[in-house]
Structure 1
């Protein structure tokens, strides 16, 4: 592998209103280790994972995201084994909590109760072989636990030093605002980030959740930025992949939201028109389609760091090529915005349209999206 010129390496924005800086591309580790519970093919061996981590570090990457549920602990364990050999303070490590880790006959082994969070963070620290977690994130909203209990528990973990910051994953707009207001009312350490699916085929979070983040200075970290391979350049009109992970998804018609579905059979003209524009812009810049899709996210003002995944060093290097050293023009950004935008439902279309000339800098620090 060739050395990476400094001008092409990552940049380091602040993580929301916190004082910590992270690489603008974050390495996601869902592909690390055996992952039988999801049945995903093409997972990385420990050796492959170490090579990807090392190459990511050579690119200047310092932000790594995992979850306790990835491989039922395998991902955290592999990352921990690698991290133990590195200078710990060089890296910002993020992990998550919510899902059942496989403890039989234990109804309390799921969700965001104080008990489950505190038990889970101890086990994550053991697997990661570290004394602290930089960013700890509930994996999604929990209808079964009071918001106050969740936030007080996260705040306690910050105060006792087990975690440095807390963030959130996978919420609706009202849920994000509820978390913000409750934290403020109780005088707790605020949430600094929101990890949410965001890509050229999944933009619904722009309606509300990201407006909360803009108003409150909360960092957005998109996951599945290529929509499970949709923007890999391998999907064409009237053509279904037959090999690799995309072929596996196509065969199973797998319906997880992170994949390039709900089903190849239901792809509509908006998807294919978006793919056409991404491909045209990629050719113009002599870039790959994934790099264009990633660059579109990186140039969104609400986005701090985009979570990428890689199963090979070649995939990693291609994705990292979006980090710095080039940019989409304002016109190209608008092209991608326009072609991927779906009709806004009520009340969003009505509210945004009626407020498009009502921006008041004295009462708001963000522009209401108008279409």
Structure 2
């Protein structure tokens, strides 16, 4: 395993993390989660990602039960949560958003479900146009001061909103945002590579990026159709099915087929190559993996072996295939 600093913080995290989105509480129960988290920890993964909204809190309960049962040393891993969408099936107004009240209540709920005394990383899952940024910054600062959170950040916030939060924190001598959790993959590059560019040096922003396989598309498994048990068959992810249907969808799959061909010509697994491609960006602190089977996790861990092999010629071929 490789480790990188989380931006300008003093925390070093594994470059590969393990996330619970889509899987824990939906397709996986405690037994499968235990096997996956154990293998991830044995491989050196030190960051486990979660959110209040994942399976309406059940993902955090499952992860918390496994972490407590396996008795991993608490000082050897970092656990995250995110606040915004709420954990109730139909949240009332006070049960969602980034108000001081919900931020505090959500943090307490996450601590209880994850069965930990503090969250290493706590993310504002989306910007909240109904709440002043200053209120959210103060709420996060107070959680840090209370010892419930060590580092806080954002997820899918526009660069100007992150900069505003950092400015407010600086002016009031508060703890500001340290990290952002954006989507980043071969099909989704603009925000990480361009929009956030001024923040890496200016704020020392770290990133824990999600969906390195573009919801599985870059693995190439959808080239021949939609297999049973895949994410495209998961209830609630009809939007993903729509993305690969129609003329635009066929054009997208054709681009992916060209990428898969490049990967296989290079003797590389397409999924592992896509993850390694994300890791070659020095501003990516950690790439979050999501797996339903040990074999899938093992294949994704192979990205570490591919990283040194990503030379300029191969990168150019990948760009040309996806153009």
**TM (normalized to structure 1)?**
0.80
Match for residue 213 of structure 1 among 200, 224, 234: 200
Cα 1:16/1:302, change in 2 over 3 Å: same
Q: Which runs of 5+ in 1 are unaligned?
A: 1-9, 36-42, 342-371
CA 1:105–1:220: 2 relative to 1, 3 Å: closer
The counterpart of 1:25, out of the listed 10, 16, 19, is: 16
Corresponding residue of 1:190: 176
Q: Report if the CA contact (8 A) 2:63-2:114 is conserved.
A: yes
Distance 1:268 1:180, change over 3 A: farther
Query: How far has the Cα of 1:213 moved from its partner?
Result: 3.2
Distance change in 2, residues 1:180/1:275 (3 Å)? farther
C-alpha distance in 1, partners of 2:208/2:290? 13
Cα displacement (A) at 1:317? 0.6
The one of 113, 133, 147 aligned to 2:99: 113
Tell me how far apart the structure 2 counterparts of residues 223 and 33 of structure 1 sit (CA, whole Å): 16
Q: Return closer, same or farther for 1:333/1:169 CA change in 2, 3 Å cut-off.
A: same
Give, in angstroms, the shift of residue 212 of structure 1: 2.3
Return the offset for 1:32.
Answer: 4.3
CA distance in 2, matches of 1:274, 1:105: 38
Cα distance between partner residues in 2 of 1:64 and 1:253 = 23
Q: Hey, what's the Cα distance between the residues in 1 that align with 2:120 and 2:46? A: 11
- Between Structure 1 and Structure 2, which shows a larger proportion of helix residues? 2
Matches within 5 A, 1:141-220: 141-205=127-191, 206-220=193-207
Q: What is residue 13 of structure 1 aligned with on the other side?
A: 4
Quote the residue 1:48 is aligned against: 32
Tell me which residue corresponds to 1:223: 210
Q: Distance in 2 between matches of 1:271 and 1:183?
A: 44
Hey, what does 2:249 align to over in structure 1? Answer: 267
Which range moves more in the overlay, 124-133 or 81-90? 81-90
The aligned counterpart of 1:234 is 221
Give the Cα separation in 2 of the matches to 1:105 and 1:300: 38
- Quickly say closer, same or farther: Cα 1:223–1:18, change in 2 above 3 A: same
Structure 2 residue ranges without an equivalent (≥5):
none
CA spacing shift, 1:270–1:102, aligned 2, 3 Å: closer
Q: Which has the larger radius of gyration?
A: 1
Structure 1 CA distance for aligned equivalents of residues 111 and 281 of structure 2: 33
Indicate conservation of the 8 Å contact 1:98/1:140, yes or no. Answer: yes
Cα distance between partner residues in 2 of 1:264 and 1:47: 35
Q: Aligned-pair distance for 1:30?
A: 1.7
Shift of 1:113: 0.3
Match of 1:281? 263
Deviation by residue 1:187-239 (Cα, 9 ceiling, x = unmatched):
22221111011111112213313442344221122111111111112122xx4
Which residues in structure 2 correspond to 1:301-340 (within 5 Å)? 301-324=282-305, 326-327=307-308, 328-340=310-322
